[in-house]
Amino acid sequence: MAGQPLRKPTRLEPWQDAGQAPYVRIEKVTKTFGDFVAVDEVSLSIYRNEFFALLGGSGSGKTTLLRMLAGFEQPTEGKIFIDGVDMSGIPPYERPVNMMFQSYALFPHMTVEQNVAFGLKQDNVPRAEIRDRVAEMLEMVQLGAFGKRQPHQLSGGQRQRVALARSLVKRPKLLLLDEPLGALDKKLREKTQFELVNIQEKLGVTFIVVTHDQEEAMTMSSRIAVMNHGVIAQVGTPTEIYEYPHSRFVAEFIGSINMFEGRVVESAADHALIASEEAGCELYISHATPAPTGTPVVVAIRPEKIALSKEESPDAAGRNSAKGVVREIAYLGDVSIYLVELPTGKTVRVTAPNVTRRTEMPITWGDEVYLSWRPFAGVVLAQ
Amino acid sequence: MSGVVSALSRLGLWGRGAVIAMPFLWLLLFFLVPFLIVFGISFSESIVAQPPYAPLVGWLTDEESGTTKLQILLNLTNYLRLTGDDLYILAYLNSVKIALVTTLLCLAIGYPMAYAIAKADPARRGPLMMLVILPFWTSFLIRIYAWIGILKSNGVISNLLEWTGITSGPVEILYSDWAVYIGMTYCYLPFMVLPLYSTLEKMDPTLLEAAADLGCRPLKAFLTVTLPLSLPGIIAGSLLVFIPAVGEFVTPELLGGPDTLMIGRVLWNEFFANRDWPVASGVAIALLLVLVVPIMIFQYVQGREAEER
């Protein structure tokens, strides 16, 4: 389910293009509440038409950062530029930005139409134009027939779409979304992910989404900033974040991963060799590591990159392979998760697709199995 | 087994019934029965006796045939007097006027107070609300007497005005409609602040953020979002002030001038000075009818609010 290709193969990658000026520039922004540092010297550049995700757990500072972009909070230090304009001291009602709130914040005393029209009325848009634009917007979110309803007469999914229509009706260049899908159930969430991406591409709006759901961030966004304790741990495309995590935190936060503690034995330009007592074998990595020989490191290997077999692979030679006993199996339909205990006591998580159809599994509880992985599978992280 | 269960559930039903019956019984005994007695007296005739009104129902014995008949005398003159005599109509109108002015003054002072408390730091809200309720801990009469000391000529306000040179001589605010407005606004202010505070405090602050985000300036956001959403509180507070203010007796009696005509004073005079219980009862019934309309609006609004929740 993770990694549905919502985006077209031709990706826009403005951050690769040195000539592109960022649409949103966050410069060393710090926000403190009393002694608590919510956002700690964060710098970010977000480009036009990006679908940018701020991903992090609760208290990571992602929502505070979003609220500073909207103007509800002022940075304690640092500056925010939107379209080249310094936003310091500019109140929310004068910013070229709209926000979709986590709670939707629909006005309970107004109908759906009045809610959507609210922003246009503030700009003194002519009545006929307001009517047309509201109707067009409601049509786009498939709520054309619900204009006269009150918010409390709508389902959660419908309210979410009213909130989206209300935040988009002013045609902002930048839309901020605070956990836009948080209150929806799983099926509706997946459907809405598609809709959001389609709308974003159709309208050419820059989206900045705050989410704690890594799957949501992976499927929708062009780039992700993983936040932790007010600091940005890593910025990159979903693939970069997943396949090349820079730190132990990012590796563990996104998906599941196996960590083997070890020590660098050999460090060369094209490979590295790490001795790990935990893994019970030498780990051969086909890329260079900045860590010099002798330093303790962690090798991270994703569960789907480990092969599971009842026979030992012939070219193992004590590298990138281990023997263990299957302790747990979780059958998820498309894949199964195996927890394999190594003689060293370490439990390794392996996922394998259920390629064939059968009721009896070839590998079952208590079986002795061999684990092996290719040289490119591991990522060396500093400890 | 099933017998025990059904007996228990019957007992539960009975218990629930008893809980509901208690307030009903209370209202029946101390509201409906006295109301019916007063309603009855209003149709009676004033006589010099103990009690000072003629019985409505009596037995009439025909001397000739010796038969006894049930006689019910309904006397409508009391109500005719209410419409005939200017005094009563003027007193009603003046009561409604004073109650309206009091309500508006309470709203004008109470709304900013309630708003400020609702927006205050959560830790400070409790003590601030305590301050609003604090006057209730002192006797109502003592507080009104204190106002006499403040408002009288050579009182606190008068001396202050003279001392600052705004006025040359002593100022008498006491014994005027203004004194009544001041006293009543002071007395009823908490009844306005409490419901206003509870609606304003419940309001979701992100609604104002949403309004600002959509380009709405703070003042306009207050008028288009906060004010309409606090309407239930405004209505509840206004009725809580208006209804008792119409029938108010003590404050106008103590602070008002001789020409401060209010229905509560008229009622008092009819009962205790004139000892005309039937007319006084008629005044009371008419007052009740005048008040039933706002009470019903209040009930309707409350019911609708409860439905929405």
d(CA B288, CA B245): 13
Closest in B204, B206, B216 to A93, CB measured:
B216
- Is the pLDDT at A357 greater than 80? The verdict is no
Question: What mean pLDDT is reported for chain A?
Answer: 89
B235 to chain A, any CB pair closer than 8 A? The answer is no
Q: How confident is the model at residue B218 (pLDDT cuts 50, 70, 90)?
A: very high
Give the model's pLDDT for residue A360.
66
d(CA B17, CA B21): 6
d(CA A380, CA A383): 9
Instruction: Tell me the DSSP string of A147-196.
Output: TTS-GGGS-HHHHHHHHHHHHHTT--SEEEEESTTTTS-HHHHHHHHHHH
- For residue B122, cis peptide bond before it (omega within 30 degrees of 0): no
Q: For residues B301 and B236, is the Cβ–Cβ distance under 8 A?
A: yes
Q: For residues B253 and B268, is the Cβ–Cβ distance under 8 A?
A: yes
Question: What mean pLDDT is reported for chain B?
Answer: 87
Q: Which of A10 and B66 is assigned the larger pLDDT? A: B66
**Tokens found for residue B12:** 């539960």
Give the model's pLDDT for residue B189.
95
- A107 and B207 within 8 Å at the Cβ level: the answer is yes
Q: How confident is the model at residue B309 (pLDDT cuts 50, 70, 90)?
A: low
Is residue B255 domain-resident? Answer: yes
Number of domains in chain B: 1
Is residue B21 domain-resident? Answer: no
CATH number of this structure's domain A14-249? 3.40.50.300
Residue of chain B whose Cα is closest to the Cα of A92: B213
Q: How confident is the model at residue B66 (pLDDT cuts 50, 70, 90)?
A: confident
Q: At what angle do helices B140-151 and B156-164 cross, to 10 degrees?
A: 30
Q: For residues A380 and A297, is the Cβ–Cβ distance under 8 A?
A: yes
Domain ranges in chain A with CATH number 2.40.50.140 = 256-382
Q: For residues B304 and A150, is the Cβ–Cβ distance under 8 A?
A: no
How do residues A282-339 score in pLDDT, each as one tens digit? 888 888 887 888 889 999 999 999 998 888 777 666 788 888 999 999 988 889 999 9
Q: How confident is the model at residue A11 (pLDDT cuts 50, 70, 90)?
A: low
The residue segments making up the domain with residue B285 are 76-308
Q: At what angle do helices B277-308 and B33-41 cross, to 10 degrees?
A: 140
- Is the pLDDT at B1 greater than 70? The verdict is no
By CB atoms closer than 10 A (0-12, 13-18, 19+), residue B96 is middle
Which of A148, A31, A176, A171 has its CA nearest to residue A92? Answer: A176
- Dihedral sign of CA atoms B246, B250, B251, B252 in order: positive
Residue-level length of chain B:
309
Give the model's pLDDT for residue A170.
92
Closest in B215, B225, B308 to A93, CB measured:
B215
Which of B91, B78, B186, B90 has its CA nearest to residue B140? Answer: B186
Long-range contacts of A114-119 (CB under 8 A, 24+ apart): A115/A151, A115/A162, A115/A166, A116/A162, A116/A165, A116/A166, A116/A169, A117/A169, A118/A166, A118/B211, A118/B214, A118/B216, A118/B224, A119/A166, A119/A169, A119/A170, A119/B214, A119/B215
Q: For residues B56 and B70, is the Cβ–Cβ distance under 8 A?
A: no
Q: For residues B242 and B298, is the Cβ–Cβ distance under 8 A?
A: no
How close does chain A come to B218, measured CA to CA in Å?
9
Angstrom distances, CA of residue A326 to CA of A309, A332, A338, A350, A358: 11, 17, 7, 10, 19
Which of A377, A382, A336, A381 has its CA nearest to residue A369? Answer: A336
How do residues B99-131 score in pLDDT, each as one tens digit? 999 999 999 999 999 999 999 999 999 999 999
B229 to chain A, any CB pair closer than 8 A? The answer is yes
Is residue B104 domain-resident? Answer: yes
Lowest mean pLDDT among A70-79, A224-233, B300-309: B300-309
**Tokens found for residue B45:** 């005739």
Give the model's pLDDT for residue A7.
52
Residue of chain A whose Cα is closest to the Cα of B214: A119
- Chains A, B: CB contacts within 8 A come to 57
What's the rounded mean pLDDT across residues A85-111? 94
SS (H, E, C) B10-47: HHHHHHHHHHHHHHHHHHHHHHHHHHHHHHHHCCCCEC
A70 to chain B, any CB pair closer than 8 A? The answer is yes
A230 to chain B, any CB pair closer than 8 A? The answer is no
Is residue B24 domain-resident? Answer: no
d(CA A203, CA A277): 54
Is residue B203 domain-resident? Answer: yes
- Is the pLDDT at B64 greater than 80? The verdict is no
- Dihedral sign of CA atoms A53, A56, A58, A64 in order: negative
Chain B hits for A92, CB-CB cut-off 8 Å, are 209, 212-213
Q: How confident is the model at residue A9 (pLDDT cuts 50, 70, 90)?
A: very low
Is residue B45 domain-resident? Answer: no
Q: How confident is the model at residue A86 (pLDDT cuts 50, 70, 90)?
A: very high
Give the model's pLDDT for residue A2.
44
**Contacting B residues, span 46-75, partner chain A, CB-CB under 8 Å:** none
- Is the pLDDT at A346 greater than 70? The verdict is yes
Is residue B23 domain-resident? Answer: no
Q: How confident is the model at residue A10 (pLDDT cuts 50, 70, 90)?
A: low
- A118 and B211 within 8 Å at the Cβ level: the answer is yes
Chain B hits for A93, CB-CB cut-off 8 Å, are 212-217
- Is the pLDDT at A1 greater than 50? The verdict is no
d(CA A31, CA A33): 7
Residue of chain A whose Cα is closest to the Cα of B227: A109
CATH assignment at residue B110:
1.10.3720.10
What residues are paired with A223 via a beta bridge?
Answer: A52
ipTM given for this complex: 0.83
Q: How confident is the model at residue A233 (pLDDT cuts 50, 70, 90)?
A: very high
Residue of chain A whose Cα is closest to the Cα of B206: A105
- Work out the percent of chain A whose per-residue pLDDT is above 90: 56
Angle at A339 between CA A316 and CA A355, to 5 degrees: 75
Radius of gyration of chain A (CA): 25
CATH number of this structure's domain A256-382? 2.40.50.140
A34 to chain B, any CB pair closer than 8 A? The answer is no
- B213 and A103 within 8 Å at the Cβ level: the answer is no
- B210 and A72 within 8 Å at the Cβ level: the answer is no
How do residues B156-210 score in pLDDT, each as one tens digit? 888 888 888 888 878 888 888 889 999 999 999 999 999 999 999 999 999 999 9
Element (H, E) at B96: helix B86-119
Is residue B71 domain-resident? Answer: no
What residues are paired with B68 via a beta bridge?
Answer: B61
A64 to chain B, any CB pair closer than 8 A? The answer is no
**Contacting A residues, span 115-144, partner chain B, CB-CB under 8 Å:** 118-119, 122-123
Give the model's pLDDT for residue B113.
96
